[in-house]
């Protein structure tokens, strides 16, 4: 039926209306108002006139107005009415009750079902009067099924309320009598039927309790969810309540009697029951501890949610401080898996608050300056939290007043993966807003000159095209700040590609505008800011990148003179009256003045350098060849940087054919190749010597100490008796080079041999002696050829022992200890090698133990 008329005389509507008014206790006006609404009237008439739908639900909303629906609602705020067709097809207008099933829907259907089972089904089916003519087997079986139904309903009811209800066995009312008879008879009188029922229910309890115990708060992330810290707190509060409820059920007097029956009859299920109880007690202690220590965090979480994100900064460090206190003081929460969940949820809360602060739905429609400022504030706040996390991670030992500190050994990426993705997205959005602000300046750009109007119109066209590209983002409906949604990234990449094209077009326009500047004033104004910035950065005199200061300054002055002199010479040769004009005289006078200034500058720069060179050469060439660092006694080359600077200056001045180079600098430059050979050879020698000092262990250093003393004596000569002017210097450098190289090569070879020993010992920790079939955890160990495995492993160990002895003998020769194998230094070294072997063996045993214990499966 269509239109606004209400089919008041339709008997089917009258039938439905009477029942709705009666069961919901409503006035007729409510029903008539429902029929006056097109949407609801159509739903009702479709149910009556069409094969589908088969169900009609009449319910009330929060305003007590009737609604019509063709499917069962997820939840109800008040009582509702349902109508179901008995057969598919239209409902006839006669004998309506024969074609429709109707009834009431309670707000809490599970509780209604429990009441129905308790008050109707169980008394009806358990009444002995109704079972008089039944065989005992059928009556007993029915009793079992009735009890199972009742237990199942109560379990479901408990799950809905977050509690685990443990079902009681059939005949639980006889448990006190059965326990008494069992004890009085000394274990002779056993109710086997009750015992069997108890054992069956213990198996069910094991499954239920195990399902509760294996629950973890990390399951909140399943299905791509992003929970906040309240989910962690709610999980542990709910777990605590559930475990306390289970614990109270297990301490029930009937359950204690059941446990006694199982224990006295040596039931195979008694250990299972005892283990269940112990596990519940342990889990309850864990939950109590965690709930206790999570409570102080609640007010910090509430503060993060209530305070505006722009003012959230002072709350971050106290929050992480409390998190660290929880880690340091909670016995059960000092676990990487648990703290990772909490930190990830804190990151999710910050992301949620940042998104609420930025309002993704309207961020592209709001003022660009304001939106960019909010994005920048959010980025700074998130970066601050990341820094606070790093600070807390480094300072964790300070939170452990007693006992060994436990560090956060997990990689930060595990915690901050989504956080970093969100931060990266915000940075992309910030770049997007920066681009918008730059292009918005084009709206006020005006270009002067002969082509100014044409170029200005082209700038306007670029701005108009940019505005079109920007408008595209205003019509997008996705969440641009959702790091899991790549839609914005794709649109931004396309936008960025178009912006690059606009940049190139704009650069072309501006180049033409500068090329067409009609006077020097325009050029100077255009370049003034760049020149001033360059002056502030590099000083008053630009020097080529690879040139030394003096030669670079002289070359700069020379280039300036050439730039000025060439056009002036051409001007002087010009056959025109302007050459003799007063203006020309002023220009030439300024030219002469500028040339005098440049020549004066060159003379002062060179004279200042030339005056200091002889003293620098004399002073620095008298320095010793080598010196030692005061901090770690390592060697260092004592070739002063001033000498290198002089060599570079002379090199470039010679290329420029400069005259009057100081004699001391020329003599030193003639020896430049000699100095290069000296310094390169000594550099290599120093590297080898310092390597031996740094990398030699005490037991190794003791074996080469005599050789080091010989080398140190030679080094002492280079520190006290020799300088860069000494004769026969090359012989000294070569001798020192040979001694140090010989020692370094032997020490390096011995250390390589030790590393080979470690590698030999490590291979047994990687492959188990016995492995499971097909590499699966639930298969049995493959021990059919165990004898062959053992023999092969024994051969491997024997071969390794031989190789290790060979390497130790090789080190004996390398250290030159063949004649002193009984010395304390060599015995200390052998003990050091023994420790390496022992540690590797212990590590192998430990790895095998871990692999062995991890192979067990808890049931």
Instruction: Encode pLDDT of 431-456 as tens digits.
Output: 988 988 888 888 888 777 777 788 88
pLDDT bucket at 858, cuts 50 / 70 / 90: very low
646: pLDDT strictly greater than 90: no
pLDDT at 427: 93
| 848 burial level (CB within 10 Å; 0-12, 13-18, 19+) | middle
pLDDT at 483: 84
Instruction: Find all residues with CB under 8 Å of 734, minimum gap 6, and list them.
Output: 681
Of 48-57, 183-192, 398-407, 521-530, where does mean pLDDT reach its minimum? 521-530
pLDDT bucket at 662, cuts 50 / 70 / 90: confident
pLDDT at 112: 63
| Average pLDDT of the chain to the nearest whole number | 83
pLDDT bucket at 131, cuts 50 / 70 / 90: low
pLDDT at 555: 87
628: pLDDT strictly greater than 60: yes
pLDDT at 430: 92
Average pLDDT estimate for 48-67: 86
Q: To the nearest whole percent, how much of the chain has pLDDT over 70?
A: 86
Average pLDDT estimate for 697-712: 85
pLDDT at 154: 57
pLDDT at 121: 60
Find the angle CA(568)-CA(572)-CA(576) to the nearest 5 degrees.
125
The structure tokens listed for 768 are 């188990």
- pLDDT single digits (tens) 565-574: 888 888 888 8
pLDDT bucket at 337, cuts 50 / 70 / 90: very high
Of 347-356, 474-483, 729-738, where does mean pLDDT reach its minimum? 474-483
The structure tokens listed for 317 are 């460090």
- pLDDT single digits (tens) 527-567: 777 777 776 665 556 677 778 888 888 888 888 888 888 88
pLDDT at 420: 93
Q: How far apart are CA 348 and CA 418, in angstroms?
A: 8
Place of tokens 């400069």: 658
Of 42-51, 80-89, 315-324, 440-449, where does mean pLDDT reach its minimum? 440-449
Q: What is the 3-state secondary structure (H, E, C) of 453-488?
A: HHHHHHHHHHHHHHHHHHHHHHCCCCCCCCCCCCHH
The strand pairing partners of 66, in sequence order, are 60
Average pLDDT estimate for 459-470: 86
76: pLDDT strictly greater than 50: yes
pLDDT at 158: 58
Tell me which of 364 and 355 has the higher pLDDT. Answer: 355
423: pLDDT strictly greater than 90: yes
**Beta 626-628 vs 80-85: how paired, if at all?**
unpaired
Number of other CB atoms surrounding residue 575 within 10 Å: 5
pLDDT at 781: 56
Q: How far apart are CA 352 and CA 574, in angstroms?
A: 77
- pLDDT single digits (tens) 286-313: 999 999 999 999 999 999 999 998 899 9
706: pLDDT strictly greater than 90: no
Contact 552, 544 (CB under 8 A): yes
Instruction: Find all residues with CB under 8 Å of 498, minimum gap 6, and list them.
Output: 469
pLDDT at 839: 82
- pLDDT single digits (tens) 801-855: 888 888 888 888 888 877 777 788 888 888 888 888 888 778 777 766 666 566 5
Q: Where do the domains of the chain lie?
A: 11-107, 143-358+372-415, 445-535, 758-854
pLDDT at 859: 42
pLDDT at 602: 86
pLDDT at 789: 65
Average pLDDT estimate for 696-703: 84
Tell me which of 114 and 173 has the higher pLDDT. Answer: 173
Q: Is the alpha carbon torsion for 767, 773, 779, 785 positive or negative?
A: negative
458: pLDDT strictly greater than 80: yes
pLDDT at 579: 81
Q: How far apart are CA 123 and CA 143, in angstroms?
A: 11
pLDDT bucket at 785, cuts 50 / 70 / 90: low
Tell me which of 701 and 764 has the higher pLDDT. Answer: 701
């Amino acid at each position: 039926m269509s239109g606004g008329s209400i089919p008041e005389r339709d008997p089917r509507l009258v039938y439905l209306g009477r029942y709705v008014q009666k069961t919901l206790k409503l006035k007729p006006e409510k029903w008539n108002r429902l029929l006056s609404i097109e949407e609801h009237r159509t739903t009702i008439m479709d149910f009556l006139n069409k094969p589908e739908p088969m169900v009609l639900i009449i319910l009330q909303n929060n305003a007590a107005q009737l609604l019509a629906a063709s499917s069962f609602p997820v939840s109800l705020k008040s009582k509702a009415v349902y109508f179901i067709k008995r057969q598919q097809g239209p409902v006839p207008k006669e004998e309506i009750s024969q074609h429709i099933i109707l009834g009431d829907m309670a707000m809490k259907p599970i509780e209604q079902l429990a009441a129905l089972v308790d008050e109707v089904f169980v008394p009806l089916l358990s009444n002995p009067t109704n079972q008089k003519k039944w065989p005992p087997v059928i009556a007993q079986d029915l009793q079992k099924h009735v009890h199972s139904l009742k237990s199942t309903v109560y379990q479901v009811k408990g799950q809905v309320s977050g509690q685990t209800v443990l079902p009681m066995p059939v005949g639980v009312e006889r448990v006190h009598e059965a326990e008494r008879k069992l004890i009085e008879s000394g274990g002779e009188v056993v109710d086997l039927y009750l015992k069997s029922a108890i054992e069956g229910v213990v198996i069910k309890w094991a499954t239920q309790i195990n399902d509760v115990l294996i629950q973890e708060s990390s399951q909140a992330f399943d299905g791509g969810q992003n929970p906040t810290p309240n989910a962690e707190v709610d999980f542990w509060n709910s777990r605590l309540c559930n475990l306390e409820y289970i614990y109270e059920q297990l301490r029930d007097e009937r359950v204690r009697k059941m446990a006694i029956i199982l224990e006295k009859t040596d039931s195979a299920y008694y250990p299972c029951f005892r283990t269940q109880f112990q596990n519940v007690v342990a889990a309850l202690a864990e939950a109590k501890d965690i709930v206790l220590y999570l409570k102080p965090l609640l007010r910090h979480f509430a503060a993060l949610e209530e305070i505006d994100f722009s003012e959230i900064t002072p709350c971050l460090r106290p929050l992480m401080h409390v998190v660290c206190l929880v880690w340091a003081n909670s016995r059960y929460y000092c676990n990487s898996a648990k703290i990772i969940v909490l930190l990830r949820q804190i990151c999710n809360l910050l992301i949620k608050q940042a998104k609420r602060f930025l309002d993704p739905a309207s961020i592209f429609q709001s003022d660009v300056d304001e939106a960019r400022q909010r994005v920048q504030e959010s980025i700074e706040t998130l970066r601050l939290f990341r820094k606070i996390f790093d600070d807390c991670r480094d300072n964790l030992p300070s939170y452990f007043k007693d006992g060994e500190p436990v560090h956060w050994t997990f990689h930060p990426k595990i915690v901050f993966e989504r956080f970093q993705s969100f931060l990266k997205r915000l940075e992309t959005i910030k770049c997007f807003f920066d681009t918008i602000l730059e292009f918005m300046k084009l709206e006020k750009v005006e270009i002067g000159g002969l082509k100014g109007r044409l170029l200005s119109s082209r700038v306007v066209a670029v701005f108009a095209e940019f505005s079109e590209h920007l408008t595209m983002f205003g019509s997008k409906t996705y969440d641009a700040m959702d790091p899991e949604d790549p839609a914005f990234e794709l649109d931004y990449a396309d936008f960025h590609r178009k912006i690059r094209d606009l940049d190139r077009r704009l650069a072309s326009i501006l180049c033409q505008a500068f090329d067409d500047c009609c006077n020097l004033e325009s050029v100077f104004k255009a370049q003034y800011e760049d020149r001033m910035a360059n002056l502030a950065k590099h000083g008053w005199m630009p020097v080529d990148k690879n040139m030394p200061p003096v030669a670079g300054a002289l070359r700069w002055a020379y280039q300036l003179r050439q730039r000025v002199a060439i056009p002036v010479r051409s001007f002087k040769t010009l056959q025109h009256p302007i050459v003799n004009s007063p203006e020309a005289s002023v220009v030439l006078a300024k030219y002469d003045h500028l040339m005098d200034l440049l020549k004066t500058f060159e003379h002062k720069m060179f004279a200042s350098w030339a005056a200091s060179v002889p003293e620098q050469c004399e002073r620095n060439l008298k320095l010793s060849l080598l010196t030692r660092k005061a901090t770690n006694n390592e060697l260092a080359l004592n070739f002063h940087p001033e000498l290198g600077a002089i060599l570079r200056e002379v090199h470039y001045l010679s290329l420029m054919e400069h005259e009057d180079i100081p004699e001391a600098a020329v003599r030193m430059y003639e020896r430049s190749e000699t100095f290069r050979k000296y310094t390169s050879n000594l550099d290599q020698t120093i590297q080898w010597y310092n390597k031996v000092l740094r990398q030699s262990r005490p037991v190794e250093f003791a074996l080469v100490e005599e050789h080091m003393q010989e080398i140190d004596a030679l080094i002492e000569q280079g520190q006290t008796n020799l300088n860069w002017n000494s004769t026969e210097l090359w012989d000294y450098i070569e001798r020192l080079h040979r001694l140090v190289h010989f020692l370094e090569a032997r020490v390096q070879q011995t250390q390589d041999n030790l590393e080979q020993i470690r590698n030999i010992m490590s291979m047994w920790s990687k492959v188990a002696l016995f492995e499971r079939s097909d590499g699966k955890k639930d298969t049995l160990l493959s021990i059919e050829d165990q004898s062959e495995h053992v023999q092969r492993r024994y051969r491997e160990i024997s071969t390794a022992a031989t190789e290790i002895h060979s390497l130790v003998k090789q080190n004996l020769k390398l250290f030159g200890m063949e004649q002193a194998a009984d010395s304390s230094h060599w015995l200390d070294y052998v003990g050091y090698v023994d420790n390496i072997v022992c540690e590797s063996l212990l590590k192998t045993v430990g790895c095998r133990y871990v692999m062995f214990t991890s192979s067990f499966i808890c049931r």
